[in-house]
Structure 1
Amino acid sequence: MAMQPGGVTRLGRRAFLRTAGAMTGAVAVGGLPEMVAAQKAPSFPKGTKLSILEWVSFVPASDVEFKRLAAEFGKVAGVDVTVDLINMNDLNPRIASAIETKSGPDIIMMISNWPHLYADGLADVDDVAEEIASRDGAYYEHNKKVSVVGNRWKAVPLCSVPSTWAYREDWFKEVGATKFPETWDEWRKVGIALKKKNQPMGQAFGHSLGDPNNWAYSVTWGFGGAETDQSGKVIINSKETLEAVKFTVAAWKDCLDEGGLAWDDSSNNRAYLAGTISATINGASIYFVAKRQFPDIAKVTGHAHMPKGPGGRFYNIGGQGRAVMKYSKNQQVAKEFLRWFMDRPQYDKWMAANDGYTVGPTPYWEKHSLWEKDPKLIPFREASKFGRWPGYPGPPSRKASEALVKYILVDMYAQAIKGMKPEDAVKWAESELKKAYA
């Protein structure tokens, strides 16, 4: 700390933000301490602004808490903070436009491999990311892989949003399944029985970032297939990938709701809550809505891990990060916000607001008390252990990001479902991936 004339202690900018953030946690248990209430140390020049671009979360309370924390930071830092929320599928074009015009938000949400796709337009955030890891422990591998480009951190890992299977325990029991199937073969047998009762499972295969990719990547890996090998060489055209595609085509006919080709990331939520499907891959948002609006459905909803295939159990969990834009004139305040937000007193509140929808970027957050409140959420806490990134086992490169945003794997499955021979669908994917990786 520095001393002002007369012996008055003046907190440095970073120390002030940390102290104010930590003391804010005391508000709920007795009010802001006098020493913080009286603290008038400036942190940034008057008129400093910070603009943040986020998605519209599937958990409304998450957005409310994020905005509240942003406003709190603005108050303690003397910064005018604005948070804009847009639909997830609109983020990519907005980011591309901002980088091209060199104007826009100071901080932008990154999903999965996007830091690799937009690396040239992102500022380095090594100091913030490494400080968090030194405090909370090493990041999960998938969170680190998608955020580090070369040897520089291009995004600060914020969280992951795992998608497990939400399923109707009562309907599964009616067809003899006392628990969710452990393997894809067992899954198909149960699915056949459910669809015969007009209770199909549901899966999206449209161009939406979440659910379609969760199936495409997780199933491909589960059957032993992959887009590339560890060196980045395209190897999608394999017997393992072909088996995954054949399995999906059979599952489409035997187990799944056949409206899924036109579904987006909200369609399966609505179908499940309407009682027209018996299970679907999704984040915890379905369960949260059910608890609020459809308590009878919530009572009979369980969550389960992705089934194992011949290649193992995998989740497509690319992880989320927040990037400071290279064009930003407010890079320092942007970094300070991320440092402050990820500090435990603030992040704890945001994670609690998500109620299990998000998982922290390090194992430290597996100890959060929210996981003990509802055992039905435990699979979400555990999912990161099986998380991989698009392009796995190759590096999460710009090329892998291009393959992701072009929906190459999703379209491989969708075309086979529509009638293309599985062999031709795999060859098509091979051709498209070679273009992306050229």
Structure 2
Amino acid sequence: MHPEDRENTAGGLTRRRFLQAGVAGLTGLALSSVSGWLKQAAAQLPPGSYNPQLQLSFPVEPGASLRILRWSQFVSTDQPEYERMAQQFTRRTGVPVRLEYEAWPDVQPKAAAAANVGAGPDIVLGFFDEPHLWPDKLVPVTDLAEYLGRKYGGWFPVAPQYGYSNQVGQWIGVPIGAPGSCLNYRMSWVKEAGFDPDPASFPKTTDEFLRLCRALKTRGHPTGFALGKAVGDANSWCHWLLWTFGAHAVAPDSKTITLNAPETVNALEYGRQLFETMIPGVAGWLDPNNNRAFLAGEVALTNNGISIYFAAKNDFPEIAGDMNHAVYPQGSAGRPTELHLFSQAYVFKYTKYPNAAKEFLRFTMEDPQYPRWINAMLGYVSHPLRAFTNLAVWRSDPKAVPFRDAVARMLPHSYQGTPGPKSARALSEFVIVDMVADALTGRRSVREAILAAESRLKRIYEA
């Protein structure tokens, strides 16, 4: 039997039988039919937390077809592998799949237009808490999300924070994972600056990190961090900057704005010092800019996904051999405070084929389809399900390892609040990124930048 047919084999659990049986009667099932890497992953999980024979399927509607909108690729193997999955799905179900790709900043506007007019793609692969902008217009996916969590060792904590809607009391998104953000750096230049380039010895504190960046700049190797409307890079590092100094935009009640605080001042004052080590022009950088600058040798250090390394391995082997990755340093918060480009899929209620849509998402998130996609991308997307922690890519290349636990480490961008329509709007308007950019570039003083951002957040959260 072909391994791609495993989920339809013995046990033959239908959706109804799965929901009736639950997990209790399914623990301890044999791992004989599962691939070697997943056996190894299962060994790292609590007993019974991985259930390889647990099955769920959704009866596809007659004559179904699907139109899917998703973000465009940043590594060249992403779209071909995803399209291969879609073709497999079509061969197995008879459901034609039409894939449409948009640049990252353009996915949400396209989805918003579809939500407003009630027509467009059946499925959207978007970012962060987009689904919370229109939760009442989405097909609940609780059955699918709970099934995947039960089968694959559970979701990392951030996944239900993004996927579940308190407003409707259901999961409204299926977490896909996150293109992780780590520090990308040139090892020879870090060594030239007097620092150990080994990721294990890379600066662990913000003070050490600033010293490294200053030393690099002194030797003609500036840093570069996006301060434009970069959905991934700017959001990732600007939120880290805020949180690592103990600051946050909103209280746990998801109502009270807490941005105007000494911790925010400390974060922005530190950011101003870091800005002095950066290459000119970062105020206008979008997501592709730092990739180009790093590969051109214009910057020694930036934050990015593994896409720079992927491109270097293919086209710039000298740079690939001289670069490495490290996790973000920690400030006064004293713990990881990372934000990564969390992606999840959602299904609009106007679709004529909700079961086909959920069956497609189930198929693409299962073994072996999902692992093949992640491995093909060199780990560009970090997994949201615990059972995928031991994928081949995380074991085959040490330079990929810092990205492995990105989803496990991350906080939601709504921190300390809960993702929802208001935090989604604040993110879509780049409130935090604009505040950091204003303060660091000198467009506003630190105090003015904080007050302007606070005012914008109050308009959003008090509306």
Q: Structure 1 residue 92: deviation in Å?
A: 1.1
Residue 346, structure 1, aligned to residue 369, structure 2: yes
Correspondence for 1:411: 434
The residue identity in structure 2 corresponding to 1:393 is Q
1 CA distance for matches of 2:311 and 2:144?
35
Q: Structure 1 residue 346: deviation in Å?
A: 1.3
Correspondence for 1:143: 159
Q: Is the 8 A contact 1:195 1:201 kept in 2?
A: yes
1 CA distance for matches of 2:231 and 2:129?
12
Q: Structure 1 residue 13: deviation in Å?
A: 8.6
The residue identity in structure 2 corresponding to 1:434 is K
Q: Is the 8 A contact 1:184 1:309 kept in 2?
A: yes
Q: Is the 8 A contact 1:359 1:365 kept in 2?
A: no
Correspondence for 2:425: 402
Correspondence for 2:68: 52
**1:127-181 superposed Cα distances (whole Å, 9 cap, x missing partner):** 1111000100221111210111113100111112110001001100001110321
Correspondence for 2:205: 183
Correspondence for 1:85: 101
**1:4-30 superposed Cα distances (whole Å, 9 cap, x missing partner):** xxxxxxx99979xxxxxxx9x9xxxxx
Correspondence for 2:330: 308
2 CA distance for matches of 1:365 and 1:345?
11
Q: Structure 1 residue 45: deviation in Å?
A: 5.7
Secondary structure of the structure 2 residue equivalent to 1:344: coil
2 CA distance for matches of 1:394 and 1:130?
23
1 CA distance for matches of 2:405 and 2:97?
34
2 CA distance for matches of 1:45 and 1:403?
38
Which moved further from structure 2: 336-345 or 44-53? 44-53
- Uncovered stretches (5+) of structure 2, i.e. residues with no partner: 1-11, 17-32, 36-58
Correspondence for 1:35: none
Correspondence for 2:456: 432
Distance 1:45 1:386, change over 3 A: closer
Q: Structure 1 residue 120: deviation in Å?
A: 2.2
Q: Structure 1 residue 429: deviation in Å?
A: 1.0
2 CA distance for matches of 1:45 and 1:307?
50
Which moved further from structure 2: 264-273 or 179-188? 179-188
Correspondence for 1:101: 117
Correspondence for 1:379: 402
Q: Is the 8 A contact 2:216 2:300 kept in 1?
A: yes
2 CA distance for matches of 1:138 and 1:231?
26
Correspondence for 2:317: 295
Q: Is the 8 A contact 2:213 2:222 kept in 1?
A: yes
Distance 1:249 1:45, change over 3 A: closer
2 CA distance for matches of 1:418 and 1:281?
18
Correspondence for 1:217: 239
Secondary structure of the structure 1 residue equivalent to 2:405: helix
Q: Structure 1 residue 317: deviation in Å?
A: 2.4
The residue identity in structure 2 corresponding to 1:159 is G
- Uncovered stretches (5+) of structure 1, i.e. residues with no partner: 1-10, 16-22, 26-42
Which moved further from structure 2: 44-53 or 404-413? 44-53
Correspondence for 1:118: 134
Correspondence for 2:89: 73
Q: Residue 174 of structure 1: which of 192, 197, 212 is its match?
A: 192
Q: Structure 1 residue 190: deviation in Å?
A: 1.0
Correspondence for 2:23: none
Secondary structure of the structure 2 residue equivalent to 1:54: strand
Residue 267, structure 1, aligned to residue 294, structure 2: no
**1:25-48 superposed Cα distances (whole Å, 9 cap, x missing partner):** 9xxxxxxxxxxxxxxxxx746642
The residue identity in structure 2 corresponding to 1:126 is T
Correspondence for 1:334: 357
2 CA distance for matches of 1:293 and 1:153?
42
Q: Structure 1 residue 371: deviation in Å?
A: 0.9
The residue identity in structure 2 corresponding to 1:127 is D
Q: Structure 1 residue 258: deviation in Å?
A: 2.3
**1:34-84 superposed Cα distances (whole Å, 9 cap, x missing partner):** xxxxxxxxx746642111111111112111111111111011101111111
1 CA distance for matches of 2:239 and 2:389?
25
**1:295-333 superposed Cα distances (whole Å, 9 cap, x missing partner):** 000001010000101013211125211101111111110
Q: Is the 8 A contact 1:318 1:388 kept in 2?
A: no
Distance 1:432 1:45, change over 3 A: closer
The residue identity in structure 2 corresponding to 1:229 is A
Correspondence for 1:38: none
Secondary structure of the structure 2 residue equivalent to 1:315: coil
1 CA distance for matches of 2:204 and 2:92?
50
Residue 229, structure 1, aligned to residue 251, structure 2: yes
> 4+ residue runs of structure 1 moved beyond 3 angstroms?
11-15, 43-47
Secondary structure of the structure 1 residue equivalent to 2:287: coil
Q: Structure 1 residue 382: deviation in Å?
A: 2.5
The residue identity in structure 1 corresponding to 2:170 is R
Aligned residues: CA RMSD: 2.1
**For residues 222-261 of structure 1, what are the structure 2 equivalents within 5 Å?**
222-232=244-254, 233-253=256-276, 255-261=277-283
The residue identity in structure 1 corresponding to 2:141 is V
Q: Is the 8 A contact 1:167 1:280 kept in 2?
A: yes
Q: Structure 1 residue 218: deviation in Å?
A: 0.7
Secondary structure of the structure 2 residue equivalent to 1:139: coil
State the percentage of identical aligned residues: 35
2 CA distance for matches of 1:326 and 1:47?
18
2 CA distance for matches of 1:46 and 1:363?
35
Secondary structure of the structure 1 residue equivalent to 2:97: strand
